[in-house]
Amino acid sequence: MCGIAGLILSSGAPPPDPATLSKLIDRLHHRGPDSAGHAVVGRVALVHNRLAIIDLVTGDQPLFAGPATLICNGEIYNYRELRATMSGVSFATNSDCEPPLHLWLRDGADFAEQLRGMYSIAIHERTQRTVTLMRDPFGIKPLYIAQIRHGLAFASEPQALLETGLVPRSVRPAAREELLQLQFTTGAETIFEGIQRLLPGETLTCSDGHVLNRRRICHVPAGGPENIDEDAALARLDEALEASVDLHQRSDVPYGMFLSGGVNSAALIALMARLNSAPVLAFTAGFDVPEAAGERDRAAAIARAVGARHEAIEINEAMVWQHLPEIVACMDDPAADYAIIPTWFLARRARQDVKVVLSGEGGDEIFAGHPRYRTAMRPWWLGGRAMYVRGSFDRLNVLRSRPTAWRDGITAAEVRAAENGRSRLATAQAIDMIDWLPHNLLLALDRCLMAHAVEGRTPFLDRGVAAAAFRLPDGLKMRDGLGKWILRKWLEKNLPIARPFAPKEGFTVPVGTWIKGQGTRLGPLVAAQPGVAEIAHPDRVVALFRDIRRWRDGFAAWKLLFYALWHRRHILGLPPVGDVFDTLNAE
């Protein structure tokens, strides 16, 4: 896991400025504190910050072969198998990122279809004078690009482009509406004017300061439900899950996993225990509120059952108020999911022992675990409705103007997901895999872990697992009102103590309760922030924080608090100065 960035300038531009390259390296240092490297050829510059995971001795980047230079953020899990297919190639390193470079020389841009992993990659081909940028099909690893004076700039995080002055700090209003209504933003355009995401599976070919073409690998399996019975599905699933977890454990440094007590993480720890002779190191976060105890107890019981070493941390309100400005600051591409709070604290604790953690993101999308899918799969005359039809600020009368275009990105995802043959359930899953997964869950995992130089791996987001599970019949995904039915059946057989069919006890962040307790103090501070005052009536913001009665009131207040801190850091350019109250009070 690393941070990458670069400049692709036009032929008439001055050469890349060394001071700018130095700033890019500095701004991405947290992603790769182990070493830094760069390569400048003509008007193209590539920079790399390394978090050393595989090949600790010779794996520094950039990597060179023939006329090509590569930098990569991520892991190529099938690098050993790829090496075996390239007889006659002389490898200079044992790095997992070198096989893609030789595949590129042999196969061109089609080489990415052979990769099994998470990655954002830049390859400079000197003879053709092109730079190819690409991102993995699930969108696990980020990459951003911006048109700048004299050409293009790219980076693993938008803040690197902003902090170096390559792109001005300016909010795109349509994306702000999405953030407030949905908690994330959709599509290629980010919340920053002039900065775009590479979409999951997208490849861009660039030359002379311009994007020449774009292409994509589809990450969602195509076609309707397969004809397969339960026993065959379970056998195929077991094989795919074991193979994926085995690949995701490839590392030359210690690794562990995040254990919540839910179905996804229980399945992961069961497989890790099967594949490891030494005890698995599992990290669990909990909160100092009574309703959080059930999930912690279940996680501890699961860890004991598989002989894991279990490290639990308790997060209290004081810790959150103290560190929330730092947590929000790491979310430069904003996702106002309050799960960033436990994820950030877990990563901070895990970094004391490991550099790599496996996590269960993607399980709910691949196996149909979200409760909203039950409604989406029903026809309208039976109470069915599309997902994301209600925004957080609908009918609250807090914002200065009513959001109108906030659902346009979701509508585009619905059109793209509605492939002929897909069931309503599979279409709902595909919608989430287009935007919710890469632009909310995976983005949050990446930023919160990389803030502490920890690599997050997601074994459910693997081509083999997706092929085994996504096109299963609806009845093997959802049954008796329960999603992830086939994964629950697998877990019931392989780790029954996890009680996969027991009612979910919940793992929720009590942020609404905390905000309510501090509402009279927080409300005026949030309302006075320039970013919030621009979009909301200050008196109504104060009233919202003062009188939180329902969950949706607390969630709306959380989003305004998040946006106030985010805007202060990434638009005004002001760093955190102490706890949340000190930061919001600062001039």
- Residues annotated as part of the active site: 2
Q: How many helices (H) and strands (E) does the chain have?
A: 24, 17
Beta partners for residue 202, in sequence order: 216
- Where is 265: in which H helix or E strand? helix 263-275
Are 216 and 136 in contact by the 8 Å Cβ rule? The answer is: no
Sheet holding 210-216, edge to edge: 63-65, 68-76, 117-125, 130-135, 202-207, 210-216
Q: Residue 564: which residues within 8 A CB-CB, separation 6 or more?
A: 525, 526, 529, 531, 532, 584
Is residue 202 classed as helix, strand or coil in its secondary structure? Answer: strand
How many C-beta neighbours within 10 Å does residue 45 have?
Answer: 24
What does the DSSP assignment read for 522-566?
HHHHHHTSHHHHHHB-HHHHHHHHH---SHHHHHHHHHHHHHHHH
Are 467 and 240 in contact by the 8 Å Cβ rule? The answer is: yes
Query: Long-range CB contacts (< 8 A, 24+ apart) of 291-298?
Result: 291/506, 291/508, 291/510, 292/507, 292/508, 292/510, 294/261, 294/505, 294/506, 295/260, 295/261, 295/262, 295/505, 295/506, 295/507, 296/261, 297/261, 298/261, 298/498, 298/499, 298/505
Q: Residue 192: which residues within 8 A CB-CB, separation 6 or more?
A: 158, 162, 167, 169, 170, 171, 172, 570
Query: Cα–Cα distance between 503 and 487 in angstroms, integer?
Result: 15
Beta partners for residue 551, in sequence order: none
The token pair at 70 is 């590569």
Query: Cα–Cα distance between 541 and 155 in angstroms, integer?
Result: 35
Q: Across 445-491, where does the E strand assignment appear? A: 455-457
Query: Cα–Cα distance between 492 and 479 in angstroms, integer?
Result: 15
Query: Cα–Cα distance between 257 and 265 in angstroms, integer?
Result: 8
- What is the amino acid identity at position 193? E
Beta partners for residue 205, in sequence order: 132, 213
User: Pairing state of beta strands 309-315 and 281-287?
Assistant: parallel
Beta partners for residue 311, in sequence order: 283
Query: Cα–Cα distance between 478 and 494 in angstroms, integer?
Result: 20
